Structure 1
Amino acid sequence: MVAAGFIAVGSGPAGVSAAETFRAKHRDIPVRILTDDPALPYAKPPLSKGYLCGREDKHDLHSAAWFTRNRIDLIRGVTVAAIDVDRQQVITKGGRRYPYWHLVLASGATAVRPDIPGVETALTLRTFADAVALKMAARYADTAVVIGAGLIGCEAATCLAEQGVATTLVAVEPVPLHRRFGLEAGERVAKILSDNDVRFAGDTTVIGIDDTGVLLGTGEGIDADVVVTATGVRPDVTLARAAGLAIRDGRIVVDEHMRTSARNVYAAGDVALARNVTAGKHIPAEHWRDAAQQGYVAGLTAAGYAASWDKMPQYSCVIGDYVLTYRGWGTGYDISSLVDHHDGFTVQYEADGKQVGVLTASRGV
């Protein structure tokens, strides 16, 4: 059996940040990252922005030489089947056991496919392999439909249109990003999409997908050589649930130090429902900056140093030549107030009389 040490399950920003942070504090303890992704660890935001649009390549978090130089054992293409919290072991699908002193669960999230006849023929955009497949499909496509008008759906639709593909964005909401940012912001995003040659079909659903395209609930058919589902993600808590870790609202419950309910087990990123010190409550982490910060906290805590998650979440979305930046808790609001300015708009969000978020859209790409 291999020597015990630090293990991160997942090679996204949370897992890599945790491993990198722990290694910086302990130079001689074994550090391993186990991941089912065969690619070198990479940043996911560029996949639906620069990479799909053909403006930039995949962004590796580190080179293969960096992992070797820092003696971090990156084990790719392996599926973790179970965690034995009593024996402190990680068990792979092939039956190999890796003992740990400290374990960080950073297994991320999986794309949610809607229950639609023919959906198995649609593409998703979650991994680098997904992005490669979609980029190749777009080269030979004249038409496309993107199902779901969240952040990824809006970015993907804009990139496809930029490649000369006639693209329709379909959503059950009346405007894009309605659930997250409200009606007024969504109306302006719809205009931005239209200016970038993306047709928006709201207040409708896709009830079928076939070789010719999609069928909407309104009875309208839309031709599509490529269909993309961007209908959200689900945190992958399969291992945590089987190991008996505390789970709430579909995520692993952790404190501000990223500790789970099991001894020497931490969680970070999409899978974590972590207590944020500044917010004074548990906040779901949904974006790479949150994941990297939580991984940093988990790595420091595991290494024996004082660390707490206290950063306010922030993320950006690129639609055409506009950048939408949100800074806030993302936990709902009672009141929103929008102000237009010469190159975009700003929305303030309040809950219980307190500001809980700010969305700014400005031309800047």
Structure 2
Amino acid sequence: MVAAGLVAIGSGPAGVSAAETFRARHRNIPVRILSSDPALPYAKPPLSKQFLCGRPADLDLHSEGWFERNRIDLLRGVTVQRIDVDAQEVVTAGGARYPYWHLVIASGAAPVPPAVPGGRNAQPLRSFADAVALKMAARHAGTAVVIGAGLIGCEAAGCLAALGVATTVVAPEPVPLLRRFGVDVGERVVKMLFDAGVRFVGSADVTAVVESGVVLAGGENVDGDVVVAATGVRPDVRLAAEAGLSIRAGRIVVDEQMRTSARNIYAAGDVTLAYNVAAGRQVVSEHWRDAALQGRVAGLTAAGVSAQWDTASGFSCTIGTSRLAYRGWGGPYERCRVVDQRDGFVATYHDGGDIVGRLVATTSPVS
């Protein structure tokens, strides 16, 4: 019989942070991480910032020896089938059962392929395996199309262009990052893409992914030996939903301590709709830093230590030689004030009399 302890589902920043934090407080209670990914836990931001571009990237969160030394049982390539809330057990697809005293759901999110004919043939960029496949494909490609102009799409496009691939970004919005940052910022991001060697085609709907690239609603074909899907992700809340946990807007509802509606079950990272004390409301975040912080809060709470999520969200994006750094809540805003500077710009987002976000863009000179 496997001894009960803390079980984390997912080996991303939230799951690893929860396990690491709990272990630091309780040296003798079993700690396990169940991961569907066969790779050692790794950081995802460097995949589209450095690894795809061919630059040195520090990916490993910890070495295999670190997990052994800290007596954290890392089980890779394991698919969790269900959570038995009454028995307080996690059941895998192979029939193994892992009892828990505390459970952290950090199952992350899965990429959503374009909902068009051939859409599943577009290459995602979510995992290390995805990044390796895309990097290999780029070696033999002369052209590439990136569908979607969000953060990952813009970063991936910049990397592909840096590898010498003629790259086009296609998006239904008139400018990149429109919904998050507005038109004024989006127009400046178009220039960043252009400076990075990327062509941007906005207000364009992809109707099919074909062998030669993509087909647009107007009938135009955009050539792409490689087609990348940067069309968003969907939080993986299946286990939580089937276990009867409270779900809202497709995410697991948690309080500021990362507690779910079920006893001794916590959630952290992309899957959560979490209450942030500083914001005074529930906040959705899909960024690495927040996932790690939420995982730490979950680990502390499970360990019996008082903790709460009370920091502002933050992330960065790299496009060629330009860098965008954001801090704020990422929600609705009434107005945006953009001030251009010699090496970039600063955008401040206001809601009523409050500042709810700040974006700083800087461009490094080409050496």
1:172 maps to what in 2?
172
Structure 2: which amino acid aligns with 1:309? W
Q: Residue 58 of structure 1: CA displacement?
A: 5.2
Kindly provide the CA deviation profile for residues 133-163 of structure 1, in whole angstroms up to 9, marking residues without a partner as x: 0000000000000000000000000100000
Partner of 1:59: 59
Q: Which runs of 4+ in 1 moved over 3 A?
A: none
Alignment pair present for 1:30 and 2:59? no
Task: Report the alpha carbon displacement of residue 346 of structure 1 after superposing the two structures with TM.
Answer: 0.7
Rounded to whole Å, the distance in 2 between the matches of 1:231 and 1:212 is 19
Task: Report whether the alignment pairs 1:252 with 2:238.
Answer: no
| Corresponding pairs, count | 365
Aligned residue number for residue 276 of structure 1: 276
Q: Could you tell me which amino acid in structure 2 is paired with residue 43 of structure 1? A: A
1:94-243 counterparts in 2 under 5 A?
A: 94-243=94-243
2:6 aligned partner: 6
Contact kept, 8 Å, 1:275 with 1:283, in 2: the verdict is: yes
- Offset of 1:218 from its aligned partner? 1.9
- Give distance in 2, aligned partners of 1:56 and 1:234: 29
In the alignment, which residue of structure 1 is the partner of 2:93?
A: 93
Distance 1:312 1:111 in 2: 25
> How far apart are the structure 2 equivalents of 1:33 and 1:95?
17
Q: In structure 1, what is the equivalent of residue 77 of structure 2? A: 77
* Cα drift, residue 57 of structure 1: 3.5
**TM-score (normalised: structure 2):** 0.98
Maintained 8 Å contact 1:47/1:58: no
Residue 186 of structure 1 aligns with an amino acid whose one-letter code is G
State how 1:290-301 maps to structure 2 within 5 Å: 290-301=290-301
User: What corresponds to 2:303 in structure 1?
Assistant: 303
Letter in 1 for 2:226: V
Aligned twin of 2:343: 343
For 2:273 and 2:118, the matched residues in 1 are separated by: 34
- Listed as ranges, the matches of 1:302-341 within 5 Å are 302-341=302-341
What is the distance in 2 between the residues matched to 1:352 and 1:94? Answer: 54
RMSD, matched Cα? 0.8
Could you give the per-residue CA deviations for residues 179-218 of structure 1, whole angstroms, max 9, x where no partner exists?
1100010000000101111000000111011111111112
1: CA distance, partners of 2:250 / 2:259: 17
Which amino acid counterpart does residue 219 of structure 2 have in structure 1?
A: G
The answer for the alignment partner of 1:266 in structure 2 is 266
Unaligned runs of 5+ in 1: none
Q: Which amino acid aligns with 1:362?
A: T
Following superposition, the deviation at residue 353 of structure 1 comes to 2.4
Whole-Å Cα distance in 2 between the matches of residues 252 and 353 of structure 1? 31
In the TM superposition, residue 364 of structure 1 has moved relative to its aligned partner by 3.9
Q: How far apart, CA to CA, are the structure 1 residues paired with 2:118 and 2:279?
A: 43
List per-residue Cα deviations over 1:49-69 (Å, max 9, x = no partner): 100000024510000000000
**Which amino acid in 1 is paired with 2:73?**
D
SS in structure 1 at match of 2:52: helix
The C-alpha deviation readout for 1:76-96, integer Å capped at 9, x for no partner, is 000000001111000000111
Asked if the contact 2:114–2:120 (Cα under 8 Å) also holds between the matched residues in 1, the reply is no
**8 Å CA contact 1:12, 1:42 repeated in 2:** yes
Partner Cα separation in structure 1 for residue 88 and residue 75 of structure 2:
19
1:176 alignment partner AA: P
Cα offsets for 1:340-361 (capped at 9, x unmatched): 0000011010112211000110
What amino acid maps onto 2:174 in structure 1?
P
TM-score (norm 1): 0.99
Does the CA-based 8 Å contact 1:258-1:298 persist in structure 2? yes
Aligned partners of 2:352, 2:35: CA distance in 1, in Å? 42
C-alpha distance in structure 1 between counterparts of 2:317 and 2:74, whole Å: 30
How far apart, in 1, do the equivalents of 2:358 and 2:143 lie?
Answer: 35
The answer to whether the Cα contact below 8 Å between 2:113 and 2:122 also exists between their aligned partners in 1 is no
Asked if 2 retains the 8 angstrom alpha-carbon contact of 1:333 and 1:349, the reply is: yes
**1:364 to 1:310, Cα distance in 2 relative to 1, 3 A:** farther
The question of whether the paired residues in 2 share the 8 Å contact of 1:143 and 1:224 is answered with: yes
Structure 2, gaps ≥5 residues long: none
